[in-house]
Amino acid sequence: MSMTPAQASKMTREICFLAPIIPVLVVEDAAQATGLAEALVAGGLPALEVTLRTPAALEAIRAMSKVPGSHVGAGTLITPADVRAAKQAGATFGVSPGATDALLAACEEENLPLLPGAATASEAMRLLARGYDMLKFFPAEASGGAPALKAISAPLPQINFCPTGGVTAENAESYLKLSNVVCAGGSWVAPQGLVSAGRWSEVEALARAASKLNLRA
């Protein structure tokens, strides 16, 4: 049986509440996936978004999904084919930069909870009308940043967000203090230089610092 949008949003919300930051990961080499996931989970960031931007992404999802304590999602879902491939690889949730009816339907049919993207009030309202009330605010900084997201909360207080896109260690708390933000997505916790060199203790340290960022600081 296909999940409903309300069920999908509930499951996605539970994942978003696991930690204040969801690492947004571009994995170039699947051989690094296990070590990367272990470091991030050990640092207190169990929800991981592996973007489908590299040939290694699906294999990375397969490897990371076997790491104890991890909740691995597939990012940059664009098409129904992406959804099916992500589910088969072991992803337990999906993330998209926007949302189409075809993408939403595919996620519901595959029982893959989705964090759909919205950058405007109209986009958020369309998703809310379908039953989605846990959304990705993307691209966050380019769309007005924390002030824009705060403004959206006034007329749409029933919607929660995970801002992603330009979120950094320096500005993350400006988002996390907002009443309509559950968590934020960021790539700074897994810089490519550290990942390529397998410097997992340093990645773990970055993750640990991010895990201590305060909501409503």
- With a CB cutoff of 8 Å and minimum separation 6, the contacts of 28 are 54, 56, 192, 195, 196
| Residues designated catalytic | 49, 136
Alpha-carbon radius of gyration of the chain? 16
Q: Which amino acid is at 182?
A: V
> Beta partners for 95?
115
Reading the block at residue 103, the tokens are: 């993408």
- With a CB cutoff of 8 Å and minimum separation 6, the contacts of 110 are 83, 84, 87
Query: Cis before residue 155, ω within 30 degrees of 0?
Result: no
**Dist CA 72 CA 186 (whole Å):** 15
**Dist CA 57 CA 41 (whole Å):** 18
